[in-house]
């Protein structure tokens, strides 16, 4: 909630600069933006590849969420793994048949449904179980006061602030979000949205209320089990027909973004990687090949769902750790005199991605890497480690290559 609101604030300053450059040069994708800024098709390909890789964890979240919803709302009749496989097939069919426009129309219905469900449950559940929102907080404070304060280790204030900042840096780096800025009529649109959009995040308060309402009603909500809070409380509270409505809204919430992400990744793979050196390729040919890659990317995401039991928040961290590696070269490119060369940008991104994959594979934190250091350091979001390495490598390589260019 916090990082989304702050991201909208940064858009007031960031997005007009991006839009202006893209509009002047008639750019249509994030990959095009980097390729043009640094006069490097190779960098554009790498940026597109980073986008595809980073999207995979987010699709994993959608598939895992879809599996949870189907399994629970069927009251265990459909196993989790079967639900994920069925959900993957549904997303593939939906993406290939509907296309981007069809998905956009369903997205409107999805937004209305999920908004109605979340607001209703966020108000009703605290009243039903505790007598009101205020009373709910009072009872939680009496029974589990530690849930209303920051712990002294791991998820401390330091972790919270650093994670919010980290996610703010990556919010507009997602290729589908970045490219959507190009469709605005003018730069003023972003400033208006930056003022109004934070209000939308208030809806997340109702999600928090639902989660808190489940704390004293559903035992064992720790780790991966915390992902089940909403549905388990709904099943305990409502009749099966209403649980079905909640499940339908939840399924659309997973199905629509999952389909849009797969289409975005497939288009990046086709247009900005495979056909990156053939800009005159017919759009229909690109569209057909993109639809071919949708099931491949979906199956890869499905396999990752079965690889581990990470909570959804941990998977989101992986996605942001990957996509945020584009920040240093983007911000540098917006300066009047860009201090970064294309070689530096490329080297920094590659180093950041490799380190991110390594630490994610071994579930590392700064506490495990730097045992004995103060919590003010060890609790900083681990994602900053590859980002800092990215920045250092970017500027070192840029300094070296610029010197060589000047000498030549």
Instruction: Give dist(CA 38, CA 47) in Å, integer.
Output: 12
Instruction: Report how far residue 40's alpha carbon sits from residue 44's, in angstroms, rounded to the nearest whole number.
Output: 7
- The whole-model pTM stands at 0.90
Whether 293 contacts 96, CB under 8 Å: no
pLDDT tens digits, one per residue of 180-195? 888 888 888 888 888 8
Give the torsion sign (CA, 212, 214, 218, 223).
Answer: negative
Closest listed residue to residue 14, CA positions, set 162, 192, 185, 190: 190
Q: What is the signed CA dihedral for 325, 327, 328, 333, rounded to 10 degrees? A: 130
Q: Give dist(CA 308, CA 220) in Å, integer.
A: 20
CATH 1.20.1730.10 fits 2-310, yes or no: yes
Of all residues in the chain, the percent with pLDDT exceeding 70 is: 94
Specify the pLDDT at position 104.
Answer: 60
Q: Average pLDDT for residues 249-253, to the nearest whole number?
A: 83
Burial of 57 (0-12, 13-18, 19+ CB in 10 A): buried
Q: Are the C-beta atoms of residues 259 and 101 closer than 8 Å to each other?
A: no
Contact 64, 304 (CB under 8 A): no
Residue 18 pLDDT grade (very low, low, confident, very high; cuts 50, 70, 90): very high
Is the separation of the CB atoms in 383 and 317 below 8 Å? yes
Is residue 138 within 8 A of residue 216, CB to CB? The reply is no
Instruction: Round to whole Å and give the CA distance between 378 and 226.
Output: 25
Within 10 angstroms of residue 269's Cβ, the number of other Cβ atoms is: 23
pLDDT at 123 over 80: yes
What is the rounded distance in angstroms from the CA atom of residue 94 to the CA atom of residue 204?
Answer: 28
Give the integer Cα–Cα distance in Å for 217 and 219: 6
Domain ranges within the chain, ordered by starting residue: 2-310
320-339 pLDDT, tens digit per residue, is 999 999 999 999 999 999 99
Dist CA 133 CA 127 (whole Å): 7
With a CB cutoff of 8 Å and minimum separation 6, the contacts of 331 are none
Unique residue bearing structure tokens 């933006």: 33
Calculate what percentage of the chain has a pLDDT beyond 90. Answer: 50
Task: Tell me the HSE value of 339 on the side-chain side, using a 13 A CA sphere.
Answer: 10
């Amino acid at each position: 909630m916090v990082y989304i609101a702050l991201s909208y604030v940064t858009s007031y300053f960031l997005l007009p600069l991006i839009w202006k450059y893209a509009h002047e040069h008639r750019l249509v994708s994030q990959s095009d933006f980097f390729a043009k800024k640094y006069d490097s098709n190779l960098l554009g390909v790498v940026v597109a590849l980073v986008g595809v890789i980073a999207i995979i964890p987010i699709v994993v979240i959608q598939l895992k969420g879809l599996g949870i919803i189907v399994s629970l709302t069927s009251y265990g009749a459909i196993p989790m793994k079967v639900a994920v496989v069925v959900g993957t097939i549904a997303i593939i069919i939906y993406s290939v048949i509907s296309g981007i426009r069809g998905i956009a129309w369903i997205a409107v219905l999805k937004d209305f449904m999920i908004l109605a469900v979340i607001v209703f449950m966020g108000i009703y559940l605290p009243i039903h179980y505790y007598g009101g929102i205020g009373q709910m907080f009072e009872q939680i404070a009496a029974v589990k006061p530690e849930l209303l304060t920051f712990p002294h280790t791991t998820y401390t204030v330091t972790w919270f602030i650093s994670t919010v900042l980290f996610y703010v840096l990556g919010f507009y780096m997602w290729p589908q979000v970045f490219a959507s800025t190009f469709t605005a009529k003018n730069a003023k649109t972003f400033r208006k949205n930056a003022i109004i959009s934070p209000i939308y995040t208030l809806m997340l308060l109702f999600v928090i209320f639902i989660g808190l309402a489940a704390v004293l009603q559903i035992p064992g909500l720790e780790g991966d089990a915390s992902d089940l809070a909403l549905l388990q409380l709904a099943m305990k509270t409502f009749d099966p027909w209403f649980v079905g409505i909640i499940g339908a809204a939840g399924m659309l919430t997973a199905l629509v973004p999952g389909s849009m992400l797969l289409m975005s990744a497939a288009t990046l793979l086709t247009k900005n990687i495979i056909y990156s050196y053939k800009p005159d390729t017919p759009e229909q040919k690109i569209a057909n090949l993109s639809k071919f890659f949708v099931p491949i990317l979906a199956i890869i995401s499905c396999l990752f769902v079965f690889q581990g039991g990470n909570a959804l928040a941990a998977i989101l961290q992986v996605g942001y750790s990957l996509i945020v590696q584009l920040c240093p070269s983007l911000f540098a490119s917006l300066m009047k005199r860009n201090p970064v060369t294309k070689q530096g940008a490329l080297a920094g991104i590659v180093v950041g991605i490799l380190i991110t994959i390594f630490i994610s594979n071994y579930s590392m934190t700064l506490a495990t890497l730097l045992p004995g250091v103060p919590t003010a350091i060890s609790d900083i979001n681990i994602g900053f480690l590859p980002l800092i390495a990215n920045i250092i490598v970017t500027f070192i390589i840029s300094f070296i290559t610029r010197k060589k260019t000047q000498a030549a």
